[in-house]
Structure 1
Amino acid sequence: MIAMGGDDREGGMFDDPTFLARYAPTGTLGAGSSAEVQLCRDGRIGRDVAVKVLRADQSEDRDARTRFLREARLQGRLEHPGVVPVYELADAERARPWFTMKRVRGITLEGVIARLVARDAETCARFTRARLLAAFVQCCRTIDFAHAQNVVHRDLSPRNVMLGEFGEVHVLDWGLARLSDPGERTRANEEDDLSETRPGQALGTPGYMSPEQALGDPDVGPEADVYALGVILFEILATRPFNPGSTTRERLDLTIRGIEPSAALAGGEHDVPPELARVIASATRAHPGERTRTARELADAVERFLDGDRDLAERTRMADALVIDAKSALAREDGAIATSLLARAVALVPKHVEASTLLSRLLLEPPREVPPAVHERMSRWAEGAWRAAARTATLRYLFWCSFIPVWIVMGFRDPPAAIFAIGTLVAMTAAMGLVAAGAMRGMLGAVVSFLAGTISIAVFTQVFSPVLVAPTLMATHLIVYCAYAAPVQRAMLIAVALAGMGIPIVLEELGVLAPTFVVDAQGIHVLPRLVDFEPRLTWWLLVMGATTAVGVPGVIAGRVRDALVGSQRKLLLHTWHLEALLPRDER
């Protein structure tokens, strides 16, 4: 950084009557190793100007003098808003050369980064990442213009970028700049032997100069400036040096070996967007031919990011507004509206933490009251589930009907009761078939089929008594209906089934019906009441009944279990997808 220095008036511009006739020195702005900058008042126009003059101890050095004049001429020919304009150049033979230029006000990018590192509140509020990136784009545009004029800066660093009070961005200190076209240098009467970089001589600022500069390449081109711009971009984003060397030698060695941007970015406090990390990596390749080709391409890449960043900011504002409206809807217990608003917010900004958290919790936690639309869907689901169960039950009852010929062959002892039992069994099977086909909907089909089945089994108790075979048939009959019934409905079904089994027992005890079994010292005797007990057919009928009693409940329970597991799997998958919307620490 330029150090403050005193006024050295010997043999210089302050003894020049022409200079003093127009300019009145008012103070020193700064001083460097080869020149100093004075603040003067231009009396002719009435403005403050900066006057740069070669130091007295450098005025006899031909090389230093030539470089000073070349800086003034190159800076003067670069007519661009990002280059401080040169007003006047004086090269008296026996005096120190000087030139006047616009006085710029502001703070260097180096100073801004230092204050950001110190967490200065005012600087953090004033120089946001977006503003610094916009200033960087302006800086790239300035360098691109210089390259178009065949001028390479060769000393770009945050120290040489000035940010003005009103959005101006100036690239300073063109003292090491050179014309990259030999023909241009000749036409400009450059004294090449004295002013050009000699092989092996590294010019620039260590840490920002490119590898070819560090190696002393005398013919560096625009790629060297692109490298320095990449380093500056890194330091804007990371607020720490790209080159971690602590001494000049270390920084030069690291530059020559090449610095991997991903390693430089690792472990940083600031989150560098991956798009810009790729831009930095491309601009800071060790080999010039592998770098981003021009400063314009570098500016365009950052500008594309800024356009997307501005779009993200606008979408974030919209999402924030939607979250506020969703909270209001939740306060009114209008979950449907809140869900819709939050879904729109997440669609605008997928990583919006508050919207994602609220939406996931809203979807994962059921409301206290079930909405009417959900009731309607549940009814449709129950209807579909009942029809599916009815299809299975119809096959089961058809299997029961297959035993009717066996009963007929065995012979009826009580034809009216037998015909009634067969009729109720056929009616139950038909009703269940109508339910399965969708011809009989709602509770009507369930009530008709259940009552018909219960009555049929109650009459069947007269075949092998109410305590043998019939209870297992009633149990499998009850399972089908209870699996799809609500708690209150299940209680009613169980009561009706118990009545179907209990009434025949009570009637037998009261003597209304003839007893179907007798218990004495010799054992339990089952008496034929509804059909004759033909020994062989009776034995097969009992075997088939027992097989059905064992197998059917297993089939029914298996189907219910499969349906339950399928629903649970869908629910868990649904929950897993929704939880992915939550931040990790909220899951």
Structure 2
Amino acid sequence: MDDNSDTESIASRTTPQGPGEAPTMLSQRFIAATEIGRGGMGVVFRCRDVELGRDVAIKVLKGVGTELRSQLTREARLQSRLQHPSIIPVYDIERSANGNELIVMREIAGQTLRAILRKRAMARRGLLSALSRVCMAIDYAHTRKVVHRDLKPENVMMGEFGEVYVVDWGLAIELDAEVQSIGGTPGYTAPEQLEGRATELSDVFSLGKILFEILDPGDLQDAPPELLAIATRACSDDAAARPTARELADVIDRFLDGERDLALRKQLAADAADAARAALATADRRVAMREVGRALALDPDHGDARSVLRDLLTAPPAQLPPEVDEWTSRERGRAIRGAVSAASLGFILTVALLPLEAMMGVRSPGWFVTRAALAVSAIVACRLLARQARPTRAGLAVTFTLSIATISCTSLVAGPFILIPSLAVLVAASLASLGGRRWIVMTTLIGLVMIGVPFMFEYLGVVAPSYTLGDDMVIHPRLIDLPPTLAPIYFVIKEAIIIAVVGMMLARFRDTLAAAERALAVHAWQLSQLLPSKT
């Protein structure tokens, strides 16, 4: 309607008209009340329709003359043909008391888009929704071969109840039906329109300019890229590169649909994050993990959800979940199987030395056979235990007992202070590796028992002593002879076997620990990438 009044609500202008501007009685039917708009060709009044008892808007020519009357009549007839919710309907054409032509239209209350943009009185979403409706109204006009030619924020009205109207069709033309005059508003007019060759795509150029204003040219870096792209296309100097008005509306609507979906996702994410926080407060970590996963799937940047996840991943639970207990049990079984496999290799090498011991000379055949039988039994027990997915307590007890018995018999070779301390270290190291710090006292006592019990038997005279102490230490072997030529080789081989078995056990445990440390480091790095610390 009003080309120039962009700063105030048309509905709020209440300045009464003086007698020189318009007669109070425009015709026998319409009484002028308030001027609500003024354009280049005419003035618009809010009037009272005395016959129907309603308010209407009436456009009155500023001047007189056949050409102006013809132009006003053409505008009225053209606009009346466009039956669209966003195009103000024309009710009638009247003639005033002084002979002027009057266009009678629906009276609307609201503000121009220019006024809203200047005051930033509406969120971007509402502005885009309104522009989409404008695009559809213009697309409708284009299907009727009508081009508006003067689209700008001043000619878009926003009603008080969500209505959107395209107004001031004074420069509109019917394509292929009349000779074009050059017209339009600088800054909104397409290049071809300035040459008198306006087409439907000339209106799209103007719509693109309006879209840029809605996106705020002062801060386009934060504007949605898809809207920037379509606005740039719409404002192309090459008309063929521009989208249609409907295509422009479709892009805006798709963006708004996505924005609505985003708003819903954010709300659902907030609800899930609240549920996760509540579950964490009651130590229900299973529900907390499920809900925080939902929240982050819906909104990866949700701050509260990320905070809950950080708490879940960095604070251990008061009670291990059953699944973790199960996994720990399986890993412990793997460690035990590795230890008994190494132990079985040690016993196999011990049995392999029996021919060498026989060559050195057997002093006590009974104990020699007993120790060999115990070593073979220990090998069998270790191999059976290594095949169990979860080694049983009974299997561990049998294997451990046979191992201790075999080692105790070995004290008959050279007494409790040769070979036995090394074997005690082997047993203690394996038990400590499997049981951890809580077993440290038990493993120490077992090692001491392995050395101390044979020593006490000798000290109390239950068995013959293994050593005579004086200027020289004399060994009294009871199981096999210790000839000077073979004994050193025998002891070196025995110690090498013990060292190798201990090394194998510790290497296996070290590999397991290193793998766990790497997994933990990777987990910590991934956590830092997922939940970077706030600086």
Classify the TM-score, shorter chain: 0.7 to 0.9
What letter is aligned with 1:2?
N
CA deviations 1:194-230 (Å, max 9, x no partner) are x512xxxx73242x444555xx332232323323333
Are the counterparts in 2 of residues 49 and 103 from structure 1 also a CA contact under 8 Å? yes
CA shift, 1:499, in A, is 0.9
| 1:196 to 2:181 alignment | yes
Report the Cα distance in structure 1 between the residues aligned to 2:356 and 2:504, rounded to whole angstroms: 25
Give the % identical residues.
35
CA 1:224–1:470: 2 relative to 1, 3 Å: farther
CA shift, 1:170, in A, is 0.5
Are the counterparts in 1 of residues 346 and 498 from structure 2 also a CA contact under 8 Å? no
- When the two structures are superposed, what TM-score results if normalisation uses the length of structure 1? 0.79
Alignment-derived partner of residue 106 in structure 1: 110
Alignment-derived partner of residue 45 in structure 1: 52
SS at match of 2:46: strand
Are the counterparts in 1 of residues 346 and 497 from structure 2 also a CA contact under 8 Å? no
Unaligned runs of 5+ in 1: 117-122, 245-263
CA shift, 1:169, in A, is 0.9
CA 1:109–1:389: 2 relative to 1, 3 Å: farther
Alignment-derived partner of residue 87 in structure 1: 91
What letter is aligned with 1:401?
V
SS at match of 1:366: coil
CA shift, 1:26, in A, is 0.9
Alignment-derived partner of residue 501 in structure 1: 451
From 150, 157, 162, give the equivalent of 1:162: 157
CA shift, 1:461, in A, is 2.7
| 1:32 to 2:51 alignment | no
Report the Cα distance in structure 1 between the residues aligned to 2:78 and 2:458, rounded to whole angstroms: 123
What letter is aligned with 2:445?
A
From 259, 270, 275, give the equivalent of 1:320: 270
Unaligned runs of 5+ in 2: 6-12
Report the Cα distance in structure 2 between the residues aligned to 1:61 and 1:580, rounded to whole angstroms: 76
| 1:265 to 2:220 alignment | yes
User: Residues 131-530 of structure 1 correspond to what in structure 2 (within 5 A)?
Assistant: 131-179=126-174, 181-182=175-176, 185=177, 190=178, 192=179, 196-197=181-182, 203-206=184-187, 208-210=188-190, 212=192, 216-236=194-214, 238=215, 240=216, 242=217, 265-266=220-221, 271-291=222-242, 293-438=243-388, 441-521=391-471, 524-530=473-479
SS at match of 2:92: strand
Report the Cα distance in structure 1 between the residues aligned to 2:292 and 2:343, rounded to whole angstroms: 45
Report the Cα distance in structure 2 between the residues aligned to 1:516 and 1:164, rounded to whole angstroms: 112
- When the two structures are superposed, what TM-score results if normalisation uses the length of structure 2? 0.86
Alignment-derived partner of residue 552 in structure 1: 501
What letter is aligned with 1:103?
E
Are the counterparts in 2 of residues 454 and 500 from structure 1 also a CA contact under 8 Å? yes
Are the counterparts in 1 of residues 343 and 501 from structure 2 also a CA contact under 8 Å? no
Are the counterparts in 1 of residues 204 and 234 from structure 2 also a CA contact under 8 Å? yes
CA 1:532–1:22: 2 relative to 1, 3 Å: same
| 1:540 to 2:489 alignment | yes
SS at match of 2:369: helix
Structure 1 segments (4+ residues) deviating >6 Å: none
User: Residues 65-80 of structure 1 correspond to what in structure 2 (within 5 A)?
Assistant: 68-80=72-84
Report the Cα distance in structure 1 between the residues aligned to 2:471 and 2:66, rounded to whole angstroms: 139
From 568, 571, 580, give the equivalent of 2:520: 571
CA shift, 1:373, in A, is 4.7
SS at match of 1:224: helix
What letter is aligned with 1:411?
G
SS at match of 1:362: helix
Report the Cα distance in structure 2 between the residues aligned to 1:387 and 1:47, rounded to whole angstroms: 96
Q: Tell which deviates more after alignment, 496-505 or 342-351.
A: 342-351
CA shift, 1:356, in A, is 3.1
SS at match of 2:28: helix
Are the counterparts in 1 of residues 337 and 385 from structure 2 also a CA contact under 8 Å? yes
CA deviations 1:371-396 (Å, max 9, x no partner) are 45533442233223322333333333
- How much is the aligned-residue C-alpha RMSD, in angstroms? 3.3
Report the Cα distance in structure 2 between the residues aligned to 1:280 and 1:106, rounded to whole angstroms: 26
SS at match of 1:45: coil
What letter is aligned with 1:196?
S
CA 1:219–1:554: 2 relative to 1, 3 Å: farther
SS at match of 1:483: helix
Alignment-derived partner of residue 10 in structure 2: none
Report the Cα distance in structure 2 between the residues aligned to 1:456 and 1:273, rounded to whole angstroms: 79
